[in-house]
Structure 1
Amino acid sequence: MSETASEIAGLRAALAASEARAEAAESELAQARAVVSTSEAMIKHLRLEIAKLRREQYGRSSERRARLIDQMELQLEELEAAATEDELVAEMVARTTPVAGVQRRRPARKPFPEHLPRERVVIEAPTTCTCCGSDRIVKMGEDGEPLCAIGSRTMASDTLEVIPRQWKVVQTVREKSPCRHCEKISQAPAPFHPTPRGWAGPNLLATILLEKFGRHQPLNRQAERYAREGVELSLSTLADQVGACAAALAPVHALIREHVLKAERLHGDDTTVPLLAKGGTKTARPWTCVRDDRPFAGGAPPAALFHFSRDREMAHPNRHLAGWQGVLQADAYGGYNDLYRDDRDPGPVESALCWSHARRKFFELADIKGNVRKRKPAHDISPVALEAVTRIDALFDVERQINGLDATSRLAARQRLSRPLVKELHDWMRAERDTMSKHNPVAKAIAYVFKADRWEAFTRFLENGRVCITNNAAERALRGVALGRKSWLFAGSERGGDRAAFMYSLIVTAKMNDIDPQAWLADVLARLPDMTASQVPTLLPWNWKPSEVRQAA
């Protein structure tokens, strides 16, 4: 019996030692990753400085050199943000394991311009002593954060903040009062900042994020605009805050992801963006999964979840939707086929294809206005394609009438109104296809609908009132990406693409809930540091109430 007890004690000791070694290895890995990210950012920063110096010395030799500097600035932006994220992770791990944290060398920040107005925010001292509870305390002075009083002079903590069309520096001071009874100095606790080092206020942070990811203005253009307004902020400084905000907003993003993947029906789609690569660019993919139950009067709020990948391989949708089961509304992309397998764990996903995609192929052959613009003769208009568009539009007319009704009412209306139209469309397309060559463009458009088992997926909406007839919800979510790539030209790195997908999830979800994303981000960044994990759900767009409304209530 004693031998068994000693063996158990030995195993427990070995397990504890193994866990300690694993924690130490994890901490060392995080520290090494932060060091590598910092080194890469420093190297890129030095290369950018060399390129700028060469350009100043030898003049504007070519447009290509100017574009090369823009590309280098974008790469530096992504590396700086990634380095800040890795550094924060290393600092969090270092708190639990005896491994030294990483201190990243940052360029010295210039003092805030003197011409900006100052606004004092005074945190009043306690009325009773925090040590003994006595009320015999008097005001002695005030200090900022950190404590830096020199003689009779006290310095406040300066935070750069932005309001529409106006800049200001917010000076936060904390009053302190000594107790005449016990000589203890009482002072209110220092406020938390949205990001480490706390030089930027939440409204400025929200402006930077929304300009970059919501209005598609790269940080180098933002820095130029801020400089014209009299405030010089370097690209590195702005990128540092983008990475810090991504780390701070991670709890909110995790809740949005959980909410989206609880849906019984999702919209899925992807689009293309150029990704900066050696020797040029390559085509990368932002993906989106959208939960929108409003068409069938569902009670769940809408939300969007974005992902990023270097290519369009089948492995990506499998990874994004691992463990999820339900109805997926998407196009006929073959990369989703693994999700529909019967032997999939936890079960097959049901496919519901988009009638807008099917209609588009016929519409391109029957676009009268488009042919007029291209100066094509009238006989190039396909009457069969025009008839197909007319028949599909009849289905859309029914959907407009039932949009917003509950699932049961929608299903009943579809059985009564849409099913006969779909049956007639099916028979008519088969009859027309049999009279055409398989190389006929109209026959190819018809084959898109009938290929493999697609007809069953196209008619899924006749059996389920929750299913939409189109996948337009996902296409609307990706519209901002399609507009943005014309402005920022390409993604600077795969890590930058992941960060962009992270921020798109927050911004698009806020817009879907009719919330101003800038006001929401500013309030979330201001309130998150003081919140516990159980309070974070109150910051989700569909639960969020602005601070003013909350205080009034």
Structure 2
Amino acid sequence: MTELEKQLMKNNDALLAQVETLSKQNEAQTNELRLLREQVEYLTKKLFGRSSEKSVDLDGQLDLFQDDTAFTTAETTEEKTIVEEIHYKRKKRMGYKAALTKNLPIKEIHCELSGADCTCDWCNSELRHIGKSYVREEVVFVPATMYKKVYYQHAYECPTCKRDGADMIKKAPVPKQPITHSLASPSVLAHLLHQKVEMSLPFYRQEKEWLNYGLDVSRRTLANWFITGTEKWLEPVWQCLKEHLLKEELLHADETYYKVLSSDKQKTYYWLFRTIEHAQHPIILFQHDLTRSRVVPQNFLRDFKGFLHCDAYGAYGTLANVTLVNCWAHLRRKFVEAKETTSTTSKAEQGIAFCDALFNVEREIEKLSPEEKYQARKMKSKEILENFWQWVSSFHVLVGSKLGKAINYALNNRTGLMNFLLDGRCALSNNLAERSIRPTTIGRKNWNFSASTRGATSNGIVYSLVETAKENGIQPTKYFEFLFEHLPNLSSLSDLEAYLPWADQVQLACK
């Protein structure tokens, strides 16, 4: 081989290597361009498109599970026009005004004639009543009123003992205050907590409302009442509820961010832990913490053993003696996001269809017993899952794309997504926890922040008692007033069973 031929071969190898390098660079840039276009398309639809995740039923849409093989080509059928007569009886509905006021007490106003007005204008004879007719309804608002209680303690002495030279004086018992040397009564504290947590009113707005009622109190005093009353009387109830919660066999968990001014951290967090939907005694607890690390669930759930419904956040995966039940609604949401990009619409729709099939099974078996649900899932849901995992593994996706993230989420959490089959009491999704934690996001939008960690912790305790009271069918404001009235007069707070939301005396007094 001549020197010229060697040089030509060398140049040819160099050109091939350069072409290969350019080809790889071109493929990488093409993939990057696809990802950027997908992101722009997704964000545009997020900004201007509809936000609902509900599936739209399309005519001729392929049913995944109508035969043994999924995703076969649909057969073309002739279009037929069918005329169908439908006969139905229209059910009379309650009027709009009647529905709005159905729970209000009624005070009838009778417009009657009396005295000289009840005589005939022509012959001056006395008129005889012949009946009445309905005219209209209106709702009357009676503004809240405040008054001041002034306590006097009466003392009594024994005259017989006094004649014998001994003084025996007995004083009447006086109910103790929730906050010593404070003007705040149980009813004021209960309304303060209601306004702050249930109505999401920050203290600077409450300050104006209390002034309208006749109480000139600063927002700083309101904050002190809120924190002191919560720490002194409501936190022991929260701790008692936590003991009951950790004895449950199935729980839900979630977390959301918050802001505390006194903290050097940009974000702090509210953690939610709650019972399942059909628990005998529903409990919803919020805990504020400065971190989102695994230490929080590890400490809170140290004594818990059982199933935990949650998202795929890694902190929950470090828990001992806990079986994670991951959320299919989260996975479905990722397929919905992938559907927003035109390049992966068909695959994303197939993923959504699998998720919908599982949720349809859950709707069918909703009213069955846990054991019946367990058996029904083995017969129906298990087959859907087998087809789903076979489908997930049947194709490759672009790493970093919306569809790729959905597929990787499914594969990485396969065990957790399958664990709902282990117990009929398990749920397919963690939507229950997401709905329960939503009030804190509303409060966050109105307050924006808490000045201190004590305030944020107190918010979490009050949220816990508000949501738990609602779940147990009692009014939170009445419950708070009941606690602030009775707990200060107890000799010890070691046994609070009779003051939990499901206790008989609480149910009787706080409905």
Give the number of the structure whose residues are more often strand, by fraction: 1
Mapping of residues 337-486 of structure 1, within 5 Å:
337-339=317-319, 347-366=320-339, 379=342, 382-431=345-394, 434-451=395-412, 454-486=413-445
1:212 match: 196
Q: Structure 2 vs 1, CA of residues 316 and 261 (structure 1 numbering), >3 Å: closer, same or farther?
A: same
For 1:164 and 1:524, locate their aligned partners in 2 and report how far apart those are by CA, in whole Å.
25
Please, which of 259, 273, 281 is the counterpart of residue 301 of structure 1? 281
1:322 match: 302
2:145 match: 166
For 2:504 and 2:182, locate their aligned partners in 1 and report how far apart those are by CA, in whole Å.
24
Q: Compute the displacement of 1:391 (Å).
A: 2.0
Give the TM-score normalised by the residue count of structure 1: 0.61
For 1:550 and 1:278, locate their aligned partners in 2 and report how far apart those are by CA, in whole Å.
40
- Say if 1:358 and 1:445, in contact at 8 Å, map to a contact too: yes
- Amino acid in the other structure paired with 1:311: T
Query: 1:257 and 2:242 equivalent?
Result: yes
More relative contact order, 1 or 2 (CA 8 Å, 6+ apart): 2
Give the TM-score normalised by the residue count of structure 2: 0.66
1:373-413 CA-to-partner distances (Å, cap 9, x unmatched) read: xxx9xx46712212221221121122123335332111011
Q: Compute the displacement of 1:276 (Å).
A: 1.9
Please, which of 180, 185, 189 is the counterpart of residue 201 of structure 1? 185
For 1:381 and 1:512, locate their aligned partners in 2 and report how far apart those are by CA, in whole Å.
42
- Say if 2:469 and 2:476, in contact at 8 Å, map to a contact too: yes
Q: Structure 2 vs 1, CA of residues 209 and 409 (structure 1 numbering), >3 Å: closer, same or farther?
A: same
2:139 match: none
- Say if 2:258 and 2:267, in contact at 8 Å, map to a contact too: yes
Give the number of the structure whose residues are more often helix, by fraction: 1
Q: Compute the displacement of 1:263 (Å).
A: 1.3
Q: Which moved more, 1:319-328 or 1:410-419?
A: 319-328
Larger radius of gyration: 2
- Say if 2:277 and 2:432, in contact at 8 Å, map to a contact too: no
- Say if 2:250 and 2:426, in contact at 8 Å, map to a contact too: yes
For 1:449 and 1:278, locate their aligned partners in 2 and report how far apart those are by CA, in whole Å.
36
1:514 match: 473
Q: Compute the displacement of 1:536 (Å).
A: 2.0
For 2:238 and 2:143, locate their aligned partners in 1 and report how far apart those are by CA, in whole Å.
27
For 2:467 and 2:393, locate their aligned partners in 1 and report how far apart those are by CA, in whole Å.
41
Mapping of residues 14-413 of structure 1, within 5 Å:
165-182=144-161, 186-246=170-230, 247-276=232-261, 282-294=266-278, 298=279, 300-339=280-319, 347-366=320-339, 379=342, 382-413=345-376
Q: Structure 2 vs 1, CA of residues 545 and 364 (structure 1 numbering), >3 Å: closer, same or farther?
A: farther
Q: Compute the displacement of 1:221 (Å).
A: 2.0
- Say if 1:306 and 1:504, in contact at 8 Å, map to a contact too: yes
1:290-331 CA-to-partner distances (Å, cap 9, x unmatched) read: 11250xxx4x31112222222322222222222322211111
Q: Structure 2 vs 1, CA of residues 244 and 496 (structure 1 numbering), >3 Å: closer, same or farther?
A: closer
Q: Structure 2 vs 1, CA of residues 420 and 490 (structure 1 numbering), >3 Å: closer, same or farther?
A: same
For 1:262 and 1:191, locate their aligned partners in 2 and report how far apart those are by CA, in whole Å.
35
For 2:263 and 2:411, locate their aligned partners in 1 and report how far apart those are by CA, in whole Å.
42
2:97 match: none
Q: Structure 2 vs 1, CA of residues 516 and 164 (structure 1 numbering), >3 Å: closer, same or farther?
A: farther
Q: Compute the displacement of 1:514 (Å).
A: 2.4
1:543 match: 503
- Say if 1:195 and 1:248, in contact at 8 Å, map to a contact too: no
Q: Compute the displacement of 1:176 (Å).
A: 4.5
Q: Compute the displacement of 1:509 (Å).
A: 1.3
- Amino acid in the other structure paired with 1:350: T
- Say if 1:284 and 1:312, in contact at 8 Å, map to a contact too: yes
- What is the percent sequence identity of the aligned residues? 30
Runs of 4+ in 1 over 6 A off after TM superposition: none
Alignment length, in residue pairs? 362
- Amino acid in the other structure paired with 1:521: F
- Amino acid in the other structure paired with 1:443: G
- Say if 2:253 and 2:274, in contact at 8 Å, map to a contact too: yes
For 1:189 and 1:428, locate their aligned partners in 2 and report how far apart those are by CA, in whole Å.
75
Q: Compute the displacement of 1:174 (Å).
A: 3.9
- Say if 2:263 and 2:452, in contact at 8 Å, map to a contact too: no
- Amino acid in the other structure paired with 1:236: R
Describe the SS at the equivalent of 2:480: helix
2:59 match: none
- Say if 1:293 and 1:301, in contact at 8 Å, map to a contact too: no
Q: Which runs of 5+ in 1 are unaligned?
A: 1-162, 340-346, 368-375
